[in-house]
């Protein structure tokens, strides 16, 4: 078993933990999906260290892998399987796990979804005692899959996490009503996302709350001066690395739409997005909107969409890099004033 013990700073997820446990008890394949930085990996590792992992658990971090063929090798290494006997690794792995009761956690699987779509059903079929917990921005869409969407923290849980981490970074950064107001504002600004809150709180060793707010105003992506892989994986080093990883997984059309949508302040409809963002490069905005929403980069409800603040901020940088900022701002103003480009 290579699951870590529960994180003492893990807050606001009791309901999700119970729901995930029930889904794993009732089925054998659960995927945790949601926004980058929302805490899918931490939730999965907490599940793997708890009672839902009867028989033991093995966490397989797929983030460093770039080739689909290496997925069975990574799982074999996690379960302690010696693959030096010359047999195909996939066959050795299936034989090794047959008859064992174990929870496999495939963490950060979105960029290897095609490989996992094939391997996970085979694991479930050949190894009746194996259950699989996947974290991914996108569901795998296999027959046995149950999907649990991991949303942002509640505001109170976000405050608890942020203030706890802030006190660890600086013994007395908070405590007055003014500080609480500033902290609550920062939590909302960071979309109540655990990773963003922790990165921001770590800055309070050198910045005040008001200075941190200003740093965000001028585009600070909350990167610490160094990244200790024992404390935080490299792909969680900053907001830019987290969102950049998601950006890499998008199609060219999705990347362009992400950038162009950043001009919207608040909610918009598919028709609004078509008017402001559509052209010969993006003829079918509605289709790409749905794909961004499926990839957990866009919120949608009752025909309306909106970008999380952190995702929008990253998109604004993309728009500047594309040289389209002035043009898109003009199209947005024309739409806002009920004119047409």
- pLDDT, tens digit (0-9, with 9 covering 90-100), for 61-118: 999 999 999 999 999 999 999 988 889 999 999 999 999 999 999 999 999 999 999 9
pLDDT, the chain, mean: 88
The neighbouring-strand residues paired with 133 are 30, 105
Q: How far apart are CA 121 and CA 107, in angstroms?
A: 17
User: According to the model, what pLDDT value does residue 260 have?
Assistant: 97
User: According to the model, what pLDDT value does residue 158 have?
Assistant: 95
Task: Tell me the mean pLDDT in the region 247-271.
Answer: 95
19: pLDDT strictly greater than 50: yes
Q: What is the CATH number of domain 14-149?
A: 3.40.50.300
What's the DSSP call for residue 68?
G
Q: Encoding tokens for residue 247?
A: 């950006």
User: According to the model, what pLDDT value does residue 229 have?
Assistant: 45
Q: How far apart are CA 107 and CA 63, in angstroms?
A: 7
User: According to the model, what pLDDT value does residue 106 have?
Assistant: 98
Indicate the pLDDT class of residue 205, thresholds 50, 70 and 90.
Answer: confident
Torsion of CA 18, 297, 312, 10, to 10 degrees: 20
Q: According to DSSP H, which parts of 68-126 are helical?
A: 71-78, 89-97, 113-126
pTM: 0.86
Q: How many CA atoms lie within 13 A of 334 on its CB side?
A: 13
Is the domain spanning 250-336 CATH 1.10.10? The answer is yes
Each residue of 210-230: pLDDT tens digit? Answer: 888 888 776 666 766 554 444
Residue 21 burial class via C-beta count within 10 angstroms: exposed 0-12, middle 13-18, buried 19 and up: middle
Q: What are the distances in angstroms from CA 3 to CA 36, 49, 119, 136? A: 22, 6, 21, 18
Q: How far apart are CA 23 and CA 175, in angstroms?
A: 40
Task: Indicate the domain borders of the chain.
Answer: 14-149, 155-233, 250-336
Q: How far apart are CA 209 and CA 224, in angstroms?
A: 16
């Amino acid at each position: 078993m290579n699951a870590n013990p529960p994180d003492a700073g893990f807050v606001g997820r009791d309901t999700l933990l119970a729901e995930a446990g029930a889904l794993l008890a009732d089925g054998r394949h659960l995927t945790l999906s949601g926004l980058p930085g929302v805490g899918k990996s931490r939730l999965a590792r907490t599940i793997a260290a708890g009672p839902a992992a009867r028989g033991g658990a093995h966490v397989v971090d797929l983030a460093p892998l770039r080739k689909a063929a290496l997925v069975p090798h990574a799982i074999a290494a996690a379960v302690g399987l010696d693959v030096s006997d010359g047999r195909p690794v996939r066959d050795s792995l299936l034989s090794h796990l047959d008859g064992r009761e174990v929870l496999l956690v495939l963490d950060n699987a979105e960029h290897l979804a095609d490989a996992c779509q094939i391997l996970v059903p085979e694991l479930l079929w050949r190894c009746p005692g194996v259950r699989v917990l996947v974290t991914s921005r996108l569901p795998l869409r296999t027959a046995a899959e149950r999907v649990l969407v991991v949303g942002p923290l509640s505001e109170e849980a976000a405050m608890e996490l942020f203030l706890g981490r802030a006190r660890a970074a600086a013994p007395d950064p908070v405590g007055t009503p003014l500080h609480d107001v500033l902290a609550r504002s920062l939590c909302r600004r960071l979309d109540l996302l655990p990773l963003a809150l922790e990165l921001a709180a770590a800055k309070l060793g050198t910045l005040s709350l008001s200075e941190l707010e200003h740093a965000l105003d001028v585009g600070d992506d909350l990167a610490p001066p160094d990244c200790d892989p024992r404390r935080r994986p490299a792909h969680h080093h900053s907001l830019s690395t987290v969102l950049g990883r998601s950006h890499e997984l998008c199609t060219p059309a999705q990347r362009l739409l992400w950038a162009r949508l950043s001009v919207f302040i608040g909610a918009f409809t598919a028709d609004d997005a078509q008017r402001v963002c559509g052209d010969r490069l993006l003829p079918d905005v509605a289709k790409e909107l749905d794909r961004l929403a499926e990839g957990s980069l866009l919120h949608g409800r009752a025909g309306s969409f909106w970008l999380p603040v952190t995702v929008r901020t990253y998109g604004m940088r993309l728009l500047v890099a594309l040289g389209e900022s002035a043009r898109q701002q003009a199209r947005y103003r024309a739409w806002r004033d009920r004119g047409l480009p």
